[in-house]
Amino acid sequence: MSKVREIISVLAVCILATVAATGCYEPSDSMVFGNGEKLYVVEGRVTDVDSVATVIVSKSFDAVGENNNEYVDNANVVLRDDQGNSAQLENVGNGVYQTSEIKGVVGTRYLLTVEIDGQNISSIDKMPVPASADSIVVEYKDSYTIFDTIGYYVSIYSTQSDDTLQYYRVEVEKNGIKLNDYSSLWLFEDAHLSRVFKMTIPHNFVEGDSVVVSICSLSAPVYEYFFGLSKQFKTNFSNTQPPFTNPVSNLATGNSETTPLGYFQASSVLRFSFVITNSKRTVVVRDSDAISEEIL
């Protein structure tokens, strides 16, 4: 009987340990999202392919409340570069400010300043060199796997000419509609051992789809911001996952007690535009000013 009692005791300890490890996580009151102060959110972007630089100014909303955007149309928004150029952005409504006077140039530093109700928010970002991707490949998969379904898949091939670490965000439009918003950020960096890196876009297309793929180069601070933002929409498959925190922004403010929200991004962009054909494999080549398709 002593041997049986010993086995039962061991089982009891194992069961208790399992319950303790998988039990529901009960955060303290200080860790739960509450009705906090609304903060200003700035989302700015200048690229070397878009003729207009755009900044969106809004206010944050409660994580547990209604997700209603509150746009700010009374801000003073100025964009400068390190070549001495400066432009005040025009408000076009719904918190959107734009200018076509500042051009995006690789290697140039840009300073964004936003003044709202006496609060100053600023950021400096340097436009990185573009991705070294001269082609993308469209391939048809006609069998189901654990990870994908039947359809056409787009892969980006990036070459690495040196050991400089670069960061990228891939934006995709299908039939004029953007596929990946903030809840589905597609990010990658070229810190790989081989000289060629392949990234397959996690979305299947069908014949006739019109596709635009934009590979945006990012500075390290902007990449870290988007990476932190992406983690808010992912789970580690654990009910003990801690509460979400705001991603680290590359914005600064004169008020040390206020944490700025948002980002300012200066990006060089490689853009591929094509239509999905019925070929098993298509190589889409970018040739400086033109894009051609080679059907294999």
> Who wins on pLDDT, 192 or 88?
88
Question: What pTM was computed for the model?
Answer: 0.79
**HEC string of the chain?**
CHHHHHHHHHHHHHHHHHHHHHCCCCCCHHHCCCCCCCCEEEEEEEECCCCCEEEEEEECCCCCCCCCCEECCCCEEEEEECCCCEEECEEEECCEEEECCCCCCCCCEEEEEEEECCEEEEEEEECCCCCCCCEEEEEEECCCCCCCCCEEEEEEEEECCCCCCCEEEEEEEECCEECCCCCCCEEEECCCCCCEEEEECCCCECCCCEEEEEEEEECHHHHHHHHHHHHCCCCCCCCCCCCCCCCCCCCEECCCCCCCEEEEEEECEEEEEEECCCCCEEEEEEECCEEEEEEC
pLDDT tier at 145, thresholds 50, 70, 90? low
Give pLDDT tens digits for 49-101: 999 999 999 998 765 555 567 999 999 999 999 999 999 999 999 999 999 99
Q: Which CATH architecture has domain 35-128+248-267?
A: Sandwich (2.60)
Same fold yes or no, 35-128+248-267 and 135-220+269-295: yes
Q: Pick the range with the lowest mean pLDDT from 66-70, 138-142, 206-210, 279-283.
A: 66-70
CB 85 within 8 A of CB 93: no
Average pLDDT over residues 167-173: 94
Q: CA 196 to CA 164: how far, in whole Å?
A: 14
How crowded is residue 13: how many other Cβ atoms within 10 Å of its Cβ?
Answer: 10
pLDDT of 165 reads 82
CATH assignment of 135-220+269-295, among 1.10.3470, 2.60.40, 1.10.15, 3.40.720: 2.60.40
Domain residue limits, the chain: 35-128+248-267, 135-220+269-295
